Structure 1
Amino acid sequence: MLLASCASCVLAAALVASTPAAAQSARPAGSGAARPAGALAPAAAPGAEAASATNAQGGTSADGTDNADAPTSAFDARQKALDQRTEENNYRYGVAEHDCYSKFFVNYCLNKARDSMRSVQADIRKEQLALDGEQRTQRARERDEKAALKRAQDEANAPQRAAEDARNAQAYEDKQRQHQLDQAQRAAEAPQRSANEQAYQEKQRQHALDQAKRGVSPSQAAANQQAYDQKQADFQRKLDEARAQGAQKAQERVQKQQSFEKKQADAAQHKADVQARQKQAAEKAEQKRQDALKQQQIEEQQKQQQQQQ
């Protein structure tokens, strides 16, 4: 019996030492006297807890102001309160179990303390399940709102996408027609190019004959031809550079025009998004007001029924 008492004392001391500081300091600040070792910690007032839950769910603080993150902060506060109640329940059970070993009917006292602990634990479990259900409902509501907003954005962007697809299709058709025109033009210019090539070869042969008549040596004629070719290459290079610069400037103008059109489209889309969000916010506010009026009417009807009874 002595060994059992010592073991129980060691167990109770371990439970008391492992109790969180928040549970140990649960006594009222204005009590002025320490609570006895065997006394249970006072539970939170039901009215205060209900008022706190109501303020948290409604998104309003104690002074009636709206909170932006009311659902999340309310769930966190309620979860913290449940965790604290669980710790206090475990602490009270540890203290009661320790006190039972100093009484005559030990088993009766232990069973009673265990039943009390389990009753409180069942209440906490019930509230925990309700809180988890509300959190799941809130997350589902947020997912639905995000999906609705995404659908609204897609519907608002549908005309712009259709216009963009139409412009791309029209541009592709224009390029195809231009390519066919270029091919037809090259085919029509083929005989002229052949005639020009023959005329050039004839000029080259006539130039060689003239050089021979003037007594120009082949080496000198090759040097002259090389200098002429170099001048032609330099002229062609400058001509290509000028064309490249012109094409680059034309491309820059097109890019600037596209950037301007994109900015205009983004501004119009932003305006549409803002109007859609404002409309949704107004609808939500109206729905909230209607729900509040319905709840107020239900409460008034319940009060009238209670007064009639």
Structure 2
Amino acid sequence: MFLSRGVFFASCASCLLAVALAVSTPAMAQSVTPASNSSARPAGASAPAAASGAQATTAKGPANAENTDSAGNAVTSDSDFDARQKALDQRTEENNYRYGVAEHDCYAKFFVNSCLNKARDSMRTVQADIRKEQLALDGEQRTQRARVRDEQAAIKRAQDEASAPQRAADDARNAQAYEDKQKQHQIDQAQRAAEAPQRSANAQAYQDKLRQHALDQAQRGISPSQAAANRQAYDQKQGDFQRKLDEARAQGAQKAQERVEKQQSFQKKQADAAQHKADVEARQKQAAEKAEQKRQDALKQQQIEEQQKQQQQQQ
């Protein structure tokens, strides 16, 4: 009796532990997994949802694989690659979300581990399909980049081939110019070497003249200090002469400028006088014309008066 009662208590304790675990585990999973429902779902409803999601994803995988194969035959652009990459990223996020929801729902079931294994297998199946399509997309992108790189290399080779004659002509011209410079340099060196004895002789003659000049000064009894004083006096005279010459040149330039200004002033006065004379003659002409006009008017008035007198006498 005591044994059966102990077994009964043990079974009750195990049931209570299972219930507590089933109640506490969904709450913990709900706080960890994103975008899950606030209330626990029934066990019968979660399993079909996970199965239907896995079937839809599995059915979607071959279709995308076919699209990838068909797109691999055509030349795709960067925008197409970006759109396909965005679609794969979106599918990855949806797969992770469905796995999180299925994992959350599994903790509300009695057979938790079996449900988790099924959800994990479904998620890995979809993940494998996405990975396969991602590898295919990466291969197409590498092929596209290689094709663009080959095209650019072909264009560069064509440009190099087109500019090859010009480069060859430039290289030949540069080589010829370099050879001409080298030849001219050799000629200059040979000429300088030939003129070396003459330069040496000129330097020796200059030194001889300096020594002879020193001997002459010594014979005339001129000391070095006296020679320096004479040299300073000579330099002073030359400086004074140069200063006077500069002053004379400056005065000459100033006088020349004054002559030019006087000539310009004279020409201006002559022009003003001519203009004044023309103005006077014009005014005199206008005055004569006015006087003549007045005389003509007076004669006409006189004739009119005489005619009027004659008419009165006749009446």
Tell me the TM-score normalized by structure 2. 0.49
Bigger Rg, structure 1 or 2: 2
Question: Hey, which of these two has a bigger chunk of helix by percent?
Answer: 2
Greater relative contact order structure (CA < 8 Å, 6+ sep):
2
